[in-house]
Homo-oligomer: A and B are copies of this chain.
Amino acid sequence: MSPAEYLDSQKEQRLADYFDFLRFKSVSAQSKHTPDLRDCATWVKDHLTNIGMTAEICETDGHPVVYAERIVSDDLPTVLIYGHYDVQPPEPLDLWKSGPFEPVMLDDVIYARGATDDKGQVFAHFKALEAHIQASGELPLNVKFMIEGEEEVSSANLPKFIESNLDKLKADIVVVSDGSQFAPGKPAVTYGLRGIVFIEVKVTGPDRDVHSGSFGGAIENPINALCEIIAGLKDENHHITVDGYYDDVDPVTDLEKESWKKLAVDEKEYAKGLGLPEVVGEKGFTTLERTWRRPTLDINGITGGYQGEGAKTIIPSWATCKITMRMVPSQDPSKVSAAVVKKIKELAPKGVTVEVFEREATPAVETPTDGPWLEAAGRALKTGFGVDPLCMKEGGSIPVVGVFKELLGLNTLLLGFGQHDDNAHSPNEKYRYEDFEGGCRTAVALLDELSKVKS
């Protein structure tokens, strides 16, 4: 029996094990769930031990990391597989159609918090190990797992863990399955992620909320001032107005233009899928170019003044907003962050105080598209999903991928098995059963393919 055949023979048990994994309320953002995270980590350790790995729970200053390895031979390549067992908070609970921690399969779709992000995806790699060991008695290469419990809370303790375990984590390549295919039936290797710059702005006016009748007209209003600043950061073509913002942005190459044309995003369908009248973005670029190759500037939250029902006629004392910008390769996030701070201060109207707080600056990452690792991953995807995979970029950021490069000197293969509409951070998170099975098959094939790479 081949590993693939073994995998196929275990469909029911595999689904049952997956559902067990999903039942843990491993919500890393909520301290009441600390014991659930510990229980979930223990389950992962035990599961990997039963499969045939040497597994341990590693303490950190936060939730623990599960580390496991099976070293076959020093002559074989070593893959480090990263994933996370923690999940996003399930709230708002009233929008869920079934319990977030009571997994169900309806019409070939599995619903649960963590179904796709990341339990369902990392679980495919667990089961690929099991299939190889059960069918062949051994793995075709050395495998290490690092499964953390704080990905949804910025992986605060992971860099320190990696730094303390540089030897243990030595490998030839990293594999991360914590993302999406290009579309249903269109699996893809992701070879680039945008970086991120995060800034907060606070505008302060009068030292208390004051009556908008008595003072209206005579003093600057912090909300109006903040809106003026925000509006001033983009022009009518959705071009960001910060000096030098685009200086280091490489132009979209002809090759990229050509290959992405084939991906043919139907912008009407794209808008419809989001409930939008139309898509809108930077003039002169397509939707894919806008999300994969251009930097952005979005307000993630804004607050100020009275937000309850009815009117409260005040000029509020302050207003704040959170701004994140996505960075593309060759942009220096710290330089961009500083330029944006400068621009915000230039835009600051008189009569109020404007404070800008630089919170985060993570660069974009790219994996070489012409290397043997990426080609191996592509072949595995073809085996798993039965079609030629695409090479794509992703607009989001996975800061740990940069950490792997920096601390371990390793490139990362990003093989997402989910879909963009899986509601990863929303109610009714889901994972298509077809993708669950395709992911498992891909993971089995991946071990074979990676074992053949001569690095």
CB < 8 Å: which of B281, B350, B397 contacts A213? B397
Q: What B residues does A234 contact at CB under 8 A?
A: 224, 228
The answer to whether the Cβ of A311 comes within 8 Å of any Cβ in the partner chain is yes
Whether the pair A313, B299 counts as a contact (CB closer than 8 A) is no
In the bound complex, how far is the Cα of B278 from the Cα of A349, in angstroms?
11
Q: With A231-B228, A276-B205 given, is the CB distance from A214 to B298 under 8 Å?
A: no
In A244-286, which residues have CB < 8 Å from any B CB? 270-271, 274-282
Whether the pair B298, A224 counts as a contact (CB closer than 8 A) is yes
The answer to whether the Cβ of A243 comes within 8 Å of any Cβ in the partner chain is no
CB < 8 Å: which of B194, B226, B276, B303 contacts A351? B276
The answer to whether the Cβ of A302 comes within 8 Å of any Cβ in the partner chain is yes
Separation in Å of the A86 CB from the closest CB of chain B? 16
Give the residue among A198, A294, A300, A305 with the most B Cβ atoms within 10 A.
A300
Separation in Å of the A233 CB from the closest CB of chain B? 8
Name the residue on B nearest A207 (C-beta). Answer: B275
Q: Which stretch, A34-42, A98-106, A321-329, touches the partner chain B?
A: A321-329
Whether the pair A349, B280 counts as a contact (CB closer than 8 A) is yes
Whether the pair A324, B304 counts as a contact (CB closer than 8 A) is no
Q: What B residues does A219 contact at CB under 8 A?
A: 271, 274, 276, 279-281
Q: With A207-B274, A300-B316, A301-B305 given, is the CB distance from A326 to B223 under 8 Å?
A: no
The answer to whether the Cβ of A352 comes within 8 Å of any Cβ in the partner chain is yes
Q: Which stretch, A121-129, A141-149, A420-428, touches the partner chain B?
A: A420-428
Q: What B residues does A227 contact at CB under 8 A?
A: 226-228, 230-231, 299, 302
Separation in Å of the A375 CB from the closest CB of chain B? 26
CB < 8 Å: which of B217, B279, B301, B304 contacts A306? B301
Whether the pair A291, B216 counts as a contact (CB closer than 8 A) is yes
Whether the pair A213, B322 counts as a contact (CB closer than 8 A) is no
Whether the pair A213, B278 counts as a contact (CB closer than 8 A) is no
The answer to whether the Cβ of A365 comes within 8 Å of any Cβ in the partner chain is no
Whether the pair B230, A270 counts as a contact (CB closer than 8 A) is no
Whether the pair B218, A291 counts as a contact (CB closer than 8 A) is yes
In the bound complex, how far is the Cα of B154 from the Cα of A310, in angstroms?
10
In the bound complex, how far is the Cα of B298 from the Cα of A291, in angstroms?
35
In the bound complex, how far is the Cα of B206 from the Cα of A426, in angstroms?
13
In the bound complex, how far is the Cα of B11 from the Cα of A348, in angstroms?
52
Give the residue among A207, A230, A420 with the most B Cβ atoms within 10 A.
A230
Q: What B residues does A299 contact at CB under 8 A?
A: 221, 223-224, 227, 304-305
Q: What B residues does A313 contact at CB under 8 A?
A: 196, 300, 324, 396-397
Give the residue among A212, A315, A425 with the most B Cβ atoms within 10 A.
A212
Whether the pair B302, A395 counts as a contact (CB closer than 8 A) is no
In the bound complex, how far is the Cα of B198 from the Cα of A447, in angstroms?
64
Q: With A301-B307, A302-B223, A303-B303 given, is the CB distance from A274 to B231 under 8 Å?
A: no
The answer to whether the Cβ of A32 comes within 8 Å of any Cβ in the partner chain is no
The answer to whether the Cβ of A394 comes within 8 Å of any Cβ in the partner chain is yes
In the bound complex, how far is the Cα of B352 from the Cα of A317, in angstroms?
29
Whether the pair B326, A322 counts as a contact (CB closer than 8 A) is no
In the bound complex, how far is the Cα of B351 from the Cα of A278, in angstroms?
5
Separation in Å of the A400 CB from the closest CB of chain B? 14
The answer to whether the Cβ of A210 comes within 8 Å of any Cβ in the partner chain is yes
Whether the pair B221, A287 counts as a contact (CB closer than 8 A) is no
Separation in Å of the A366 CB from the closest CB of chain B? 15
In the bound complex, how far is the Cα of B90 from the Cα of A160, in angstroms?
48
* Chain A to chain B: the 7 pairs with minimum beta-carbon distance, closest first: A213-B396, A207-B275, A280-B351, A301-B305, A231-B231, A217-B290, A227-B230
> Can you sample 25 A-B contacts with CB below 8 Å?
A154-B310, A196-B213, A212-B296, A212-B298, A213-B326, A213-B397, A215-B274, A216-B324, A216-B326, A216-B395, A217-B282, A217-B395, A218-B287, A220-B276, A221-B298, A223-B298, A224-B230, A227-B228, A228-B231, A299-B304, A299-B305, A301-B312, A302-B302, A312-B322, A313-B397
